């Protein structure tokens, strides 16, 4: 999602995805879950001037040190074709749990968001490949698509999407028995 494209209001992925992550975290905490964020503000979690890989590794380290049961990485996609749109859930098949988590979130979050279902796909993104816990990377919508960018900035969409991810997480734990 690092394609350089012009967005309507110069929205930044990190801002809209943090809002969705916070709303998701609030739902999880209300249900009794312990939530650990890799960031809660616009600040890197690794040391200043860290490489991209060091930053990503630090995020995984936070989850591992917290003994997290799952790792959810929330993003907004981008493409040079402004018509590209939809939601994609990525996982790396380290074990059967990654696929179950991905499918559970796909089945709940995509209908909640109401965008094109681009599927649950295998990918080698660093944070899902290098984490030893079940992990997914969610591309919520295309920030480069004017209509989807508007949605990403609407609190109603953010709430619906966060609830969809939450429902997927609940579905996952129901399937795996609280793993």
pLDDT in tens, 85-126: 999 999 999 999 999 999 999 999 999 999 999 999 999 999
- Among 101, 99, 41, 92, which residue's Cα sits nearest to residue 68? 101
What is the rounded (10 degree) CA torsion for 103, 135, 89, 109? Answer: 60
Q: Return the HEC string of 70-127.
A: CEEEEEEECCCCCCCCCEEEEECCCCHHHHHHHHHHHHHHHHHHCCCEEEEEECCCHH
The per-residue pLDDT for 117 is 96
Bridge partners (DSSP) listed for residue 73: 137
The per-residue pLDDT for 168 is 98
What is the model's pTM? 0.87
The answer to whether residues 121 and 127 touch, using CB atoms and an 8 Å cutoff, is no
pLDDT in tens, 3-58: 444 444 445 676 789 999 999 999 999 999 999 988 765 554 444 454 567 777 78
């Amino acid at each position: 999602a690092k394609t350089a494209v012009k967005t309507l209001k110069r929205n930044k992925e990190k801002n809209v995805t943090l809002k969705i992550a916070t709303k998701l975290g609030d739902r999880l905490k209300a249900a009794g879950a312990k939530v650990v964020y890799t960031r809660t503000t616009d600040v890197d979690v690794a040391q200043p001037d860290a490489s991209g890989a060091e930053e990503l590794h630090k995020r995984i380290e936070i989850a591992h040190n917290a003994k997290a049961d799952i790792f959810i990485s929330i993003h907004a996609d981008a493409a040079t074709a402004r018509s590209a749109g939809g939601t994609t859930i990525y996982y790396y098949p380290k074990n059967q749990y990654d696929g179950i988590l991905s499918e559970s979130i796909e089945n709940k979050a995509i209908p909640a968001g109401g965008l094109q279902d681009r599927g649950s796909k295998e990918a080698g993104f660093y944070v899902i490949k290098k984490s030893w816990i079940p992990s997914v990377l969610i591309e919520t919508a295309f920030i480069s698509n004017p209509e989807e960018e508007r949605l990403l900035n609407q609190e109603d969409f953010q709430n619906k999407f966060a609830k969809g991810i939450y429902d997927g997480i609940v579905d996952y734990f129901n399937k795996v028995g609280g793993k």
